[in-house]
Amino acid sequence: MKNSIKIFALAAGMFTLASCEKFLDVNDNPNSPVSENLALSVKLPGALMSTVSQETKLINPLTSLWSGYWGTTSEATAQFTNEKTYNGVGIRGTRDGIQIWEGSYNTLLYYQLIKVQAQQEGSLFYSGIAKIMQGRHFIQLVDLYNNVPFDEALQGTQYISPRYENGKTVYEKSINMITEGINEIKAAGAADAPGTADIIFAGNKVQWAKFGNTLKLRALIHQSEVNGNEAYISAEIQKITQEGSGFLGVNENAYANPGYLNTTGKMNPYWETYYRNIGGQTTSHISLRPTVYILDKYKSYNDPRMAKIYVNVGTEYKGVLFGNPIVEDQYNAVNTSAFRGPSENGNQPAGLFKSFNQPSVLLSSFESLFLQAEAAHLGWITGTAKTFYDQAIAESFKYIGLTPEQATTYAAQAGVNLTGSSNVSESIITQKWLSLNSISGLEAWNDYRRTGYPAIPNSLLAPVPTARPLRLMYPESERQTNGAETDQQGNDEVTVGLIWWDNNGAQ
């Protein structure tokens, strides 16, 4: 991890961005001199935008393929080959791979610089935000790689070969870090509030506390299948209850909105990457299609969200098979359902694609409510699973552009109504999976790995029929510079190494 020393020296490059328009310029020259006296209000938006970019451009596309949402048209059989074949070496490649490890530690270093400066200046609000976001990123790294550096990471030249810590320990330390962040934000004075520099909650203390608690609940839900972990989970739930702010609920979303512009590189990155760029279209919009499996699920539940998200082909909605190596006319672009956006929706906002300046989703109300539904079902929190579940569905319908009445009708159907479910956990996870479609592939993949729900078909290019993607491999640059540590982590093959909370393994 010696590369992180260089990254640390350059990490503040993004923080040379001084205005709403400028901090959208995420491609500034990292070799430019960096002022050590930039205000925290300048640095924070850049760090939050780094989180958004990391989530949208690197993590969500990989995991949306692996969680059963996306496949490719026949014309694009040669695209996403590493993802379809579970080629961990290709995915981690320095030149053509997906730089999730590097991007994650880069972003963590941005928050580290903010935290250090905030502590020097006594700015508790900024320090608290940095801690919550660092905890979020470390948990995400564990979800992707398992054991990772924590205590000895982000320390500049102090540790040349930072020590890896096991995933369970990193989870616990990250949850503690989020708790510290919540407490610091609550203790911050009014003069310390970040205002518009906080492009998620505009300095709202309660919303940050709820966001932090929801991140902790998500991390606890991840480990709900681990035997012998009950006492730890109970103690952490008790801490959340005592803190008192609760979780993100109805109409409460962690949306990042810096003021996107209708300019190349400054649009909402989700819109620009998967729907329309300044030139009018993206490669992803042409090549990506829903899987047959997810369309069949929508159809089986008479789900009106399908028509809001996708374009019909004649009178039908048609998908593709993930990893299909055969070029077949029925899976050509013109014969399958593309994403629906304003251009296909009478110039009106559509389900996922509404406008170039729509906010970026970091954690939605409906994901939070589904987490609470599962927690209530497990007996962790008060309230009924059905109440949270129905609210989650209603919030998803609202996000997609449907009415409360449509949500009520949908949730009352046999097969959806939680009251009549023969497997409450499966029902919650399945409806959560439908709601997170293309929005949070990682959480859908996390749920599949820990529960096996829903029964997502395997890639037709899987190395063997039973092989499933379980993790990512440590990047080659990390193995070259910190090999003594990576060698101790065991087999990190994509289809072999388990994340510490994954008792389910390959399905």
* 458-467 residue pLDDT tens: 999 999 999 9
Distances (CA, A) of 391 to 123, 303, 383: 37, 16, 12
Phi and psi at residue 5, to the nearest 5°? -65, -45
Q: What is the pLDDT of residues 126-176, one digit of tens each?
A: 999 999 999 999 999 999 999 999 999 998 888 889 999 999 999 999 999
Distance CA 199, CA 188 (A): 18
What integer pLDDT is reported at residue 2 of this predicted model?
A: 46
Domains of the chain (ranges, CATH numbers):
1-252+471-502 (1.25.40.390)
Distance CA 204, CA 206 (A): 6
Mean pLDDT, range 5-13, rounded to an integer: 37
Q: What is the pLDDT of residues 443-480, one digit of tens each?
A: 999 999 999 999 999 999 999 999 999 999 999 989 99
What integer pLDDT is reported at residue 36 of this predicted model?
A: 59
Helices and strands (H, E) in the chain, number of each type: 21, 6
What integer pLDDT is reported at residue 503 of this predicted model?
A: 77
Q: Above 70 in pLDDT, residue 434?
A: yes
For residue 425, count CB atoms less than 10 angstroms from its CB and return exposed for 0-12, middle for 13-18, buried for 19 or more: middle
Q: What is the pLDDT of residues 32-74, one digit of tens each?
A: 334 457 999 999 999 999 999 999 999 999 999 999 999 999 9
Q: What sign for the dihedral angle of Cα 468, 106, 202, 22?
A: negative
Contact residues for 358 (Cβ-Cβ < 8 A; gap 6+): 260, 268, 270, 271, 349
Instruction: State the SS3 of 315-380.
Output: CECCCECCCCCCCCHHHCHHHCCCECCHHHCCCCCCCCCCCCCCCEEEECHHHHHHHHHHHHHCCC
Distances (CA, A) of 498 to 9, 10, 171, 503: 33, 33, 15, 8
Distance CA 164, CA 478 (A): 12
Q: What is the pLDDT of residues 74-111, one digit of tens each?
A: 999 999 999 999 999 999 998 889 999 999 999 999 99
Q: pTM of the prediction? A: 0.94
Q: Above 50 in pLDDT, residue 191?
A: yes
Q: What is the percent of the chain with per-residue pLDDT over 70, rounded to a whole number?
A: 92
Q: Which of 307, 279, 270, 339 is nearest to 410 (CA)?
A: 307
What integer pLDDT is reported at residue 12 of this predicted model?
A: 36
